[in-house]
Amino acid sequence: MKDISLSIASPAAASPLQKAGAALTACAILSSIIAAFGAGTSNPLLFFFLITGLFISGGIFYSIPYFKAQAGIKNDGIMQNSLSSRGAIAWGIAILMTGFYIILYWFPYYLEGLIRTMDPLSMMLRNKASDQWFLYGAFYTLAVLIMGMRFIAKYKFSRYHIIRTISVMFFQLGFAFLLPAFLLKLNQPEFYFSYFWPLKYSYLFPNDIDYLIQSGNLGVFMVFWGLVMTFIATPVLTYNFGKRWYCSWVCGCGALAETLGDPYRQNSDKSLKAWKIERWMVHSVLVFITLTTALLWLNSWKSGTILGDASGLFSQWYGFLIGSVFSGVIGTGFYPIMGSRVWCRFGCPMAAILGLFQRFKSKFRITTNGGQCISCGNCSTYCEMGIDVRAYAQKGENIIRASCVGCGVCSSVCPRGVLKLENLEEEGRFIPYIRHEDKK
Amino acid sequence: MNIVIIGNGITGITCARNVRKLDSNASITVISGETEHFFSRTALMYIYMGHMKFEHTKPYEDWFWKKNRINLIKAYVKSLNSKDKTLHFDNGESIAYDKLIIACGSVPNKFGWPGENLHGVQGLYSIQDLEQMERNTKNISSAVIIGGGLIGIEMAEMLHSRKIEVKMLVRENFYWGNILPREEAQLIGKHISAHGIDLQLNTELKEIISDDQNRVKGVLTNKGEQFECQFVGLTAGVKPNIGFLEKHELETERGILINEYFETSIPHIYAAGDCAQFRNPKPGEPAIEQLWYTGKMQAETLARTICGDKSAYNRGIWFNSAKFFDLEYQTYGQILPEINDQQKSFYWEHPNGKHAFRANYSSKDESISGFNFIGIRFRQIIAEEWIREHKTIGFVIQNLKKGWFDPEFSKAFYNDISHSYLQSLKSGNEE
Ligand SMILES: Cc1cc2nc3c(=O)[nH]c(=O)nc-3n(C[C@H](O)[C@H](O)[C@H](O)COP(=O)(O)OP(=O)(O)OC[C@H]3O[C@@H](n4cnc5c(N)ncnc54)[C@H](O)[C@@H]3O)c2cc1C
Ligand code: SF4
Ligand code: SF4
């Protein structure tokens, strides 16, 4: 049968406030381009305030209608809107974002003017001129904060969403942006306390550890912190709360996906085939990074004799392929086309480890409420990880999947209140609901 | 065994799937004139509102049917010949069966209102209805909905999402007043009004008025009021879709008559779901069950019988759920609009008008008989267990936390409820 939605006219247009918000954001992008072409070098402060001011006011205007509306699910028109349903606007944004990443990684000199607009902020925070990574960090954090505000407005009926969004905004701003900058100012190593091996793979590489230890007491603490988080905190927290404690409460990649990526969450692929590809890919990355780490240690133990420079090359390639291309260009640039968690789902080795714990040794599950599911499909549609939640719910089974980041949106959009994220006893979490009358 | 099923709704499909699970050799064919693949009728509103596309409402991927060897035929069954056990389609083809399952669902009720066949007047049941509604509501500004039930409120929400002004004509004193106790009905009525829907209570449709092109231009009510509109939604319930059986000897009344094994008056023909009517319904239970849940449960039982394990239908403790704009509603056990003289009822409502709780119990032994939850999610197994085990109202109120199913970090109301209950005991004693 033909695709019914094609015959559907677009719903009533977005409110004037939202149009104004979109226009302001467009102006912010335009100003950034003008700045990049050189204007930012001559007038850094002016362009800094212009760009951030426009982005922030755009975000505020865009969010006001959500704050004013009756609390509840706000998904009207998503499938008919070009932005959120892979229309021309979505492709435009995807090209813009991907282009930004490509220039950022490989041709940063084209961004010179834009980088200079961040000098005043960079000097203030780190006593150091801005560079492309500082610019990226600033934009990234700004996106999380602005779109985080929008997310809170949109899901204002749910304290779970409000609290976890404040949490990711806090960790992004504090631990991934301000603290590392401040450490630089104090002449300490630039360290990210909210990232651990294997996501921040180099934190367990011999070179990084040597460097940290040599840099003093704080450096030693950083090494200690990294080890504790990877080997103790990760399993313990994941056992008690599921992978969500990291993926949708702390992690910066998750933060961007949940905020900037929220308008695109429905574009994740839910097919069985996608699930197969996902498992292959994400576990391959995990094996790859574990192997790399092991090799590097072996090499350093034998003082570089067995591998020569090969192990270094290995890690460089990993950094390029996974660290840059995958997590940045595809992971974020393709949001509007492939959904918001492409990286988290197909590429993140941290997600792979957390997922294995969650699937096999954890108290976390999404409980299905008896036989209440009406198979409507809202949960599956809005799962950013591409989990076919309905397939479990309609059978009365709990949802226990390695990839679930515990964002809780499936539970929010379910019109029958069927789903609840919770941490209960490990025992019995796989037992499905059976009607009392059918028990024999 | 050659099993043929008419209807690929939840009933027909659940039957097909369960037969396949129990019998890997049976030949299974499902016929439907509506869509090629099973989709979720309950999600029709979300397609219109743009929350989902049609493809999202399909609970199984398209490869599923072939993999499970369930043959699908897209055609309307025009007639049934039970002597040589064949079905004839509108496209001239036919098919033979050993066992026939009729699960042909419903169609919207029409009551012979003047003007009910005008352009712009319709019900909402099938995907074709939805496509028609899409055409009928293009560029219009106001609509009237007849009937204050569940499909009516969904239609109101759909139209509202396109910024179309909506009036609902409701025959009762309150929204859904034939099902809900007065307090809940009022609370929901207020919520609906807060969303900008104009509820016209105690109002019935008298006539739908036409313009000179045979299109609706307004409605006339029994109170003599006239409302202008370009669309009329008829949502005064549904009835079994058994027109194609009209001339057949198969015994029907409102629906296809069946016993508790889903057997019709003719051997090897079964009926279930929205289209079936129990000859002897259990006391207090309806003869026709028109729900997603009941369709599914009926089909599961019927599949067992078909595969040789003859099983009587037992639908267990009643439950249902719905959503009125942003208000979720769950009910367990039996809650009628009015209690009888052997019952008592405890009702609690949050001052913000968005959460409510009701428990009905026996005035003799205080055992619980039913719950309503509004704006509160509650565990089905707990609610059912308490009803089945005749727990007392006191026990229930004390243990509400056990069944609480609201998302983590949300404000829980079980303490407020138990407070209010103790208060009501005190004031009751003083009287
Ligand atoms: C808008 C809407 C919302 C609803 N929401 C809820 C809800 O939230 N909860 C709930 O419990 N229930 C709900 N319901 C009711 C629920 O959807 C129905 O009870 C259920 O779908 C009935 O399933 P069924 O399989 O018996 O019939 P159907 O789903 O009607 O399936 C029957 C199929 O058979 C086909 N058919 C009929 N005659 C022929 C023929 N002669 N030849 C070939 N094919 C034929 C029909 O076209 C149809 O596709 C809702 C219904 C609607 C319309
Ligand atoms: S299953 Fe639910 S909680 Fe888990 S990722 Fe998907 S939408 Fe989020
Ligand atoms: S959203 Fe709720 S009712 Fe709909 S399919 Fe998912 S679990 Fe079932």
Read off the pLDDT of residues B317-356 as tens digits, 9 standing for 90 and up: 999 999 999 999 999 999 999 999 999 999 999 999 999 9
CB atoms within 10 A of CB A305: 8
Strand order in the sheet with B368-374: B319-324, B327-333, B368-374, B356-362, B343-349
CB of B384 within 8 A of CB of B317? yes
Average pLDDT estimate for A418-422: 98
The residue to mutate among A368, A378, A398, A411, having the most atoms of ligand 3 within 8 angstroms of its beta carbon, is A378
* Assigned CATH topology for domain A363-438: Alpha-Beta Plaits (3.30.70)
Write out pLDDT tens, residues A142-188. 999 999 999 999 999 999 999 999 999 999 999 999 999 999 999 99
Write out pLDDT tens, residues A357-395. 999 999 999 999 999 999 999 999 999 999 999 999 999
| CA distance linking residue B359 with residue B369, whole number of Å | 7
pLDDT above 70 for A308: no
Of A210-214, A378-382, B335-339, B358-362, the one with minimum mean pLDDT is: A210-214
pLDDT category at A303 given cuts 50, 70, 90 is confident
Pick from B145, B228, B109, B181: nearest CA to B360 = B181
Cis peptide before B286 (omega within 30 of 0): no
Name the β-bridge partners of B358: B347, B372
- B276-278 and B319-324 strand pairing: unpaired
Rg (C-alpha) for chain A, rounded Å, is 23
Partners of A436 on chain B (C-beta within 8 Å) are 316-317, 384, 388
Q: Is the CB of A393 under 6 A from ligand 3?
A: yes
Whether this prediction's pTM lies above 0.90 is answered by: yes
Distance from CA of B208 to the nearest CA of A (A): 26
Q: What is the CATH number of domain B319-427?
A: 3.30.390.30
ipTM over 0.90: yes
Q: Is the CB of B97 under 6 A from ligand 1?
A: no
Name the β-bridge partners of B169: B146, B200
Mean pLDDT of chain A: 91
CB of A390 within 8 A of CB of B40? no
CA angle A240, A245, A251 (to 5 degrees): 155
Partners of A81 on chain B (C-beta within 8 Å) are 50
CB contact under 8 A, B407 and A408: yes
CA B217 remoteness from chain centre? 30
- Give the start-to-end residue ranges of the domains of chain A: 272-352, 363-438
Per-residue tokens: B368 = 């619980």
A401 CA → ligand 2 middle, Å? 9
Nearest CA in chain A to B295: A374
B62 CA → ligand 1 middle, Å? 20
Residue A422 has its nearest CB partner, among B54, B300, B408, at B408
Residue with tokens 């309806």: B286
Average pLDDT estimate for B386-413: 97
The residue to mutate among B13, B30, B31, B106, having the most atoms of ligand 1 within 8 angstroms of its beta carbon, is B106
- CATH 3.50.50.60 range(s) for chain B read 2-107+239-306, 121-235
CB contact under 8 A, B195 and A70: yes
Write out pLDDT tens, residues A64-117. 999 998 899 999 999 999 999 999 999 999 999 999 999 998 899 999 999 999
CB of B179 within 8 A of CB of B229? no
pLDDT of amino acid A7? 36
Residues 343-402 in A contacting B (C-alpha not used; CB under 8 Å): 367, 369-372, 374-378, 380-381, 390-391, 394
Q: By alpha-carbon position, which residue is closest to atom 4 of ligand 1? A: B42
Pick from B94, B102, B72, B107: nearest CA to B245 = B102
- B276-278 and B256-258 strand pairing: parallel
Q: By alpha-carbon position, which residue is closest to atom 7 of ligand 2? A: A383
Residue with tokens 């306390």: A193
Under CATH, which architecture does the B121-235 domain have? Answer: 3-Layer(bba) Sandwich (3.50)
| CA distance linking residue A60 with residue B376, whole number of Å | 32
For residue A386, the SS3 value is coil
pLDDT of amino acid A313? 74
CB contact under 8 A, B131 and A80: no
Element at B374 (helix H, strand E) = strand B368-374
Q: What is the CATH number of domain B2-107+239-306?
A: 3.50.50.60
| CA distance linking residue A138 with residue A233, whole number of Å | 29
Average pLDDT estimate for A121-128: 95
Average pLDDT estimate for B151-165: 96
For residue A45, the SS3 value is helix
A370: left (phi over 0), alpha (psi -120 to 50) or beta: left
CB contact under 8 A, B46 and A376: yes
